Structure 1
Amino acid sequence: MKQERAARTREALVQAAAEAFDRAGFHGTSLGRISKAAGISMGALTFHFPTKDELADTVQLRGLTVTRDAVQRLLTGREAALETVVDLTLELAALLQEEAVVRAAARLTRERESAPQGAPWPSSWLPAVEGLLEAMPAGQLRAGCDPRTVLALVGHLVAGVESYLRSCAAQGCDTCKSAPEQLARIWELALYGIRCGRQG
């Protein structure tokens, strides 16, 4: 019973911290703000997480785990194809839109100098994209289209989704389009330039 209560307290703190780091960033968030948002005393917070860095480490690693697990589920049984790359980015867009812990991991990656080892958020999905592009059968990309350029395109699109969502949140905009739907339309345009057999 005591362990279950401790686990619930810890989970509540991680969720509150994820939302706070997502909104205000690492430097704009205090332990006091997280304590208040979670409805948990400062003493209980520092018992589980003595420093803000330790709490940020936990949030960042949680975001990576959520992302990595989603990517692995999506790739199960899928072929190395351009459509799979597109679907992977749409999954990332959905995660960024729906999961505060994923948005927090992405933001903490940029803002923290002392991140936990192996925890930059792109490390949870970028190797999968690289693997798909390397294993893609010949003939799926237009002649002269470098897979490294497609990889860069993916990076820019994912970063653009995060920026779009942050802009919507900052403006308090409830009418922003679904990030995955918007990204799917962008891909429709981009694929005309990179898929073999399409006319530019």
Structure 2
Amino acid sequence: MAKQERAIRTRNALIDAAAELFDRDGFEVASLATISAKAGVSSGALHFHFANKAALLDAVVGVAGERLRWITRQRDALSLQVLIDASHDLVQGLAQDVVLRAGFALGSHPERSEHTRDLRREWQSWVEATVERAAREGALMPGVATGDLSAAVVAVAAGLEALGGRDHRWLERATLTRIWTLLLPRVVGPAARDLFVAAGRAVIEKAPCMTAR
């Protein structure tokens, strides 16, 4: 059991180190030697867990995908509020969680395998489905096109992700709150507007898999 736990810790350390170096230096620049050194393990230990750098890419994206799954989990709220809350959690995750941030960037990398998840596409699909549920719940004003709202939410997240890479102020909660404050009156009627909180409801507690390992 102790040996298995050590193996898990080593694998997690390698994924964390790879994510940080891929995010900081780029996939092409980061080497297996620097990844193993940052993780504090030998090159042999790295190759025991991962055959090559592409396998590490897949592992980073896989862990990031589990964190995205937590962000898009079922919540006890109207679907439009669920969307608001999840968008805040995603942006905060991109600011604070290097594995999530690297996973989003690597999901469309040329070195990805055919089995690598595309997290941006998964986020887009989830947004589209959630907006459709919000429309069925009657949350949207007549004439609001679900496709247009979905595109706006996806574009905002992508824009904040890109801008936040240079200036983390773009990833502050207040930035997305201002965007939702502008957007909500254009998609929700006055009678229902007080049902939704542009800043997100309470700050969502971190998923267990996002805590320090």
> What range describes the TM-score normalised by the shorter chain of this pair?
0.7 to 0.9
Contact 1:89 1:158 in 2 (8 A): yes
Give the SS at the match of 2:140.
Answer: coil
Q: Hey, what does 1:121 align to over in structure 2?
A: 119
Over 3 Å counting, the alpha-carbon distance change for 1:31 and 1:113 in structure 2 is closer
- Residue 62 of structure 1 aligns with an amino acid whose one-letter code is V
**CA deviation after TM superposition for structure 1 residue 104, in Å:** 0.6
Q: Which moved more, 1:104-113 or 1:62-71?
A: 104-113
Segments ≥4 residues shifted beyond 4 Å: none
Rounded to whole Å, the distance in 2 between the matches of 1:79 and 1:122 is 23
**Number of paired residues?**
189
- Measure, in 2, the Cα distance between the counterparts of 1:47 and 1:39: 15
1:116, distance to aligned residue in structure 2 (A): 4.9
Matches within 5 A, 1:4-19: 4-19=5-20
**What corresponds to 2:75 in structure 1?**
76
Alignment of 1:33-182 (within 5 A): 33-72=34-73, 75-80=74-79, 82-117=80-115, 119-136=117-134, 137=136, 139-168=138-167, 176=169, 179-182=172-175
- Report the 3-state secondary structure (helix = DSSP H, G, I; strand = E; otherwise coil) of the residue aligned with 1:110: coil
Whether contact under 8 Å (1:68, 1:125) holds in the other structure is: no
* Deviation readout 1:81-109 (Å, 9 max, x if unpaired): x2222122111111111211110111102
For residues 99 and 31 of structure 1, do their structure 2 counterparts lie closer, same or farther at Cα, with a shift above 3 Å needed? same
What is the distance in 2 between the residues matched to 1:180 and 1:196? 24
| Identity score, percent | 34
Give the alignment's TM-score, normalised by structure 2.
0.80
Q: Secondary structure at the match of 1:10?
A: helix
Whether the aligned pair in 2 keeps the contact of 1:90 and 1:183 (CA below 8 Å) is: yes
Structure 1 letter corresponding to 2:180: W
Partner of 2:204: none
Give 1:123 shift.
4.5
Gaps of 5+ in 2: 192-213
Pair 1:40–1:138, CA change in 2 (3 A): closer
**Match for residue 193 of structure 1?**
186
Higher alpha-carbon deviation: 147-156 or 30-39: 30-39
Alignment partners' CA distance in 1, 2:29 and 2:110: 12
The CA distance in 2 between the partners of 1:78 and 1:85, in whole Å, is 10
